[in-house]
Amino acid sequence: IALNQSGRAANMDMNAMLQGVSEGERQKLMVMLEEMQMKEQVTMYNSLVERCFANCVTQFRQKSLDEKEDKCVKRCTMKFIKASARAGQTFQQIGMQLPGQAPAGGGQPGQ
């Protein structure tokens, strides 16, 4: 989610950076970027699972998750998604305040 936001911001800068670059080369770059994004999503998902597992699952008396662990994993996932969205939001706001950046369109202060 946050990834797509920052991806879009990057796209805006790239049009300026890629002035004069051939269409074929641009196409190749876009394909590469999309592959990178796909990979990034997978890594994010896998490291989330690892992190939640590490924090929530501490005993192995049974072979499946008990109620406490189940809730913990779900809460962990929710929190991560929210944290990710918020971090992305803040990051984008800061990016818009930097000198020389074209504003993406009115950011609301104090959000």
Partner 1 sequence: FPIPCIAMSDQQQRVAAAKNEIGAFSDMYNRMLKQCFEKCVEHFHESELSLGENTCLDRCVGKYVESQQKVGEQMAKVTAQMSQI
Q: Which residues bind partner 1 (CB under 8 A)?
A: 1, 4, 27, 30-31, 33-35, 37-39, 41-43, 45-50, 52-54, 56-58, 60-65, 69-70, 73-74, 76-78, 81
Of 106, 83, 103, 85, the C-alpha closest to 95 is 103
Shortest separation between residue 109's beta carbon and partner 1, angstroms: 21
CB-nearer residue toward partner 1: 21 or 101:
21
Residues 9, 104: Cα–Cα separation, whole Å: 8
Calculate the CA dihedral of residues 12, 105, 92, 13 and round it to 10 degrees: 10
Query: Whole-angstrom Cα distance, residue 67 to residue 55?
Result: 15
Nearer to partner 1 (CB atom), residue 43 or residue 97: 43
In the complex, the smallest distance separating the C-beta of residue 52 from partner 1, rounded to whole angstroms, is 6
Distance CA 44, CA 26 (A): 26
When the beta carbons of 53 and 91 are compared against partner 1, the nearer one is 53
Cβ 60 to partner 1 shortest distance, Å: 4
